[in-house]
Amino acid sequence: MDVPWWREAVFYQVYPRSFADSDGDGVGDLEGLRQRLDHLQWLGVDAVWVCPFYPSPMADFGYDVADYCDVDPLFGTLDDFDRLLAEAHDRDMRILIDWVPNHTSDRHPWFVESRSSRHSPRRDWYVWRDGGGPGPGGRPNNWKAAFGGDAWTWDEASGQWYLHLFLPEQPDLNWSNPEVVEAMHGVLRFWLDRGVDGFRIDVVQGLGKDHPDLMDDPPGTVLPRSSFNDHPSAHPILRDIRRMVDGYPQAPVLVGEVYLLDTAQVVRYLGRGDELHLAFDFTSLYAAWDAGAWRGTIERVERELGPVGGWPTWTLSNHDNVRHRSRYGGSEDRARAAAVMLLGLRGSPFLYAGEELGLEDAVLPAERVVDPGGRDPCRAPVPWDPSPGHGWGVEDPWLPWPPGPDVRNAETLRADPSSILHLYRRLIAARRASAALRGGDVRLLPSAPTAVVWARQAGEDRRVVAVNFACEPVGVDVEGEWVVEVASDGTGEGGPFGGTLAGDAAVLLRPVSSP
């Protein structure tokens, strides 16, 4: 059986504002990304997920889309996108784009029309309710929005409330309206016809809503437990989308953001192999740097995904959360050990741009804060070289630099074979070369309580990954003779494994007999 490409791919997430700037305006753009494809190819990634670049008032930095079928001038043009896609394909890299189906911008012509009158033909494209009339007591229910405040805004002119699970500038679409479904399928087809290789789907857990009752949440409900999440009507929506994208020759992948923080619930969005291909399970992103937490996570993911034949995804960082190096305490040793872990797990790894440079979150003075969700620090621009503008053409881009850009930049780290950047490259190459790492099964091995050790196997091909979560050295006893293929601290690679791991270190081992 042919293995789908996305099972073996290493994914790389680009937040376009912060990745690379081609025109010196201090905001990254699509042409900047195209110019840095060399970096991604050298690193060895297979697929790039590009966060929203569509025309947008940027209330949520692009997750408030005003036109799904164009490029915001800040990021370039459709021609720039086509060039990026063609050049990525020339390099055997795939491009996924971010599709935001739960809500549009309040400036999207659909919402402008919907809002214009209660009798607008597009009124029912969004979720409008009378509630008890204007004023805080009149809200249709007690749902809370993700960035704080209520999930309803009163529209004075047309005299009704509209629903927004995020900002008031992000009204929720009504997916129970077939016209919305058709229009949004049209959006997917627009990009699939251009040749994109898949979609990262935003807020999948919110697509189905508790229509028409819109019941109150029980008192004390904390997101994501609200009843606007995880409604069963999301599943037929996904099945229809899956059927449509499966008809495309490029075998597009659907990767869903299913923000439920419960692996068993997330797995349901894979359906019977007829909904999402892949789903983000953020329980791993929130797992502490702790052996017990990670052993439990690996066991749980295997237990939940195994029976349905689901393929796991692994993410340590993204544009919504504190970077893992910062979360794990800031030490580069841990960031290196985490890289060995991420690329040694069973499933598709998703790297977040800059983690290969060991970037930490930026420290922002209050006057530089721009994001309503407090996520600026992990979105600091990627430094490309040691010059004062770090490859951006301006010294002070839209957000401040992450710590240490003079040394922690792509050019400087590439010149140093012992750097974390080279470690990521060696790990990705080792993964590509090993059937066991790409697609093999996983078996946890007995280990000291502060370590996690697992075996990967596909046919005759075998590997072992050992991670020490403690600051003190730990003994690792693996049956047989093993060679260190990649070490998080770079020591001893190519030599026999001596059975001890330094503090906060990890190794990838291959059997002595394998090439």
Catalytic residues: 202, 257
The tokens for 180 are 């919305």
Give residues 479-508 in contact with ligand NOJ (rule: CB under 6 A). Answer: none
DSSP run (H or E) holding 34: helix 30-35
**Residue 100 binding ligand NOJ, by CB under 6 A:** yes
Least separation in angstroms between residue 257's CB and ligand NOJ is: 6
Residue number, 308 or 370, with CB nearest to ligand NOJ: 370
Q: What is the DSSP string of 37-56?
A: HHHHHHHT-SEEEE---SS-
String of contacts with ligand NOJ for each residue 271-310, x by CB under 6 A: ----------------------------------------
String of contacts with ligand NOJ for each residue 187-216, x by CB under 6 A: ---------------xx-------------
Give residues 137-176 in contact with ligand NOJ (rule: CB under 6 A). Answer: 166
Residue number, 302 or 376, with CB nearest to ligand NOJ: 376
Judged on CB neighbours under 10 Å (0-12, 13-18, 19+), 144 is: middle
Least separation in angstroms between residue 100's CB and ligand NOJ is: 6
Least separation in angstroms between residue 98's CB and ligand NOJ is: 8
**Residue 340 binding ligand NOJ, by CB under 6 A:** no
Residue number, 21 or 60, with CB nearest to ligand NOJ: 60
Residue number, 66 or 484, with CB nearest to ligand NOJ: 66
Give residues 362-381 in contact with ligand NOJ (rule: CB under 6 A). Answer: 373
| CA dist., res. 474 & res. 499, Å (int) | 9
Least separation in angstroms between residue 322's CB and ligand NOJ is: 14
String of contacts with ligand NOJ for each residue 387-426, x by CB under 6 A: ----------------------------------------
**Residue 361 binding ligand NOJ, by CB under 6 A:** no
Phi, psi of 195 (to 5 degrees): 110, 10
Contacts of 296 (CB under 8 A, 6+ apart): 287
Least separation in angstroms between residue 318's CB and ligand NOJ is: 7
Q: Which of 29, 197, 320, 376 binds ligand NOJ (CB under 6 A)?
A: 320
Phi, psi of 278 (to 5 degrees): -135, 145
Residue number, 202 or 217, with CB nearest to ligand NOJ: 202
**Residue 106 binding ligand NOJ, by CB under 6 A:** no
Half-sphere exposure of 150 (CA within 13 A, CB side): 15
Size of the site for ligand NOJ (CB under 6 A): 10
Q: Which of 11, 53, 63, 282 binds ligand NOJ (CB under 6 A)?
A: 63
Query: How distant, in Å, are the alpha carbons of 32, 375, 395, 404, 410 from that of 388?
Result: 18, 25, 6, 12, 14
Residue nearest to ligand NOJ (CB): 63
Give residues 443-472 in contact with ligand NOJ (rule: CB under 6 A). Answer: none
Q: Which of 31, 60, 169, 356 binds ligand NOJ (CB under 6 A)?
A: 60
Instruction: Find the Cα–Cα–Cα–Cα dihedral 281, 283, 284, 286, rounded to 10°.
Output: 130
Q: Which of 21, 197, 257, 461 binds ligand NOJ (CB under 6 A)?
A: 257
Least separation in angstroms between residue 59's CB and ligand NOJ is: 10
User: Could you tell me which of 391, 384, 342 has the C-alpha nearest to residue 39?
Assistant: 384
Q: Do residues 347 and 515 touch, judged by C-beta distance below 8 A? A: no
| CA dist., res. 284 & res. 263, Å (int) | 9
Least separation in angstroms between residue 408's CB and ligand NOJ is: 24
- Strands across the sheet containing 506-511: 441-445, 451-458, 461-468, 506-511, 482-487
Residue number, 259 or 482, with CB nearest to ligand NOJ: 259
DSSP run (H or E) holding 263: helix 263-267
SS3 call for 442: strand
Residue bearing tokens 């459709």: 78
Using H for helix, E for strand and C for coil, what is the string for 92-131? CCEEEEEECCCECCCCCHHHHHHHHCCCCCCHHHECEECC
**Residue 20 binding ligand NOJ, by CB under 6 A:** no
Residue number, 29 or 202, with CB nearest to ligand NOJ: 202
| CA dist., res. 440 & res. 418, Å (int) | 29
- Helices vs. strands in the chain: H and E counts, helices first: 15, 18
Least separation in angstroms between residue 376's CB and ligand NOJ is: 12
Phi, psi of 50 (to 5 degrees): -105, 120
Least separation in angstroms between residue 203's CB and ligand NOJ is: 5
SS3 call for 326: helix
| CA dist., res. 174 & res. 274, Å (int) | 22
Residue number, 203 or 298, with CB nearest to ligand NOJ: 203
Residue number, 229 or 447, with CB nearest to ligand NOJ: 229
The residues binding ligand NOJ (CB under 6 A) are 60, 63, 100, 166, 202-203, 257, 319-320, 373
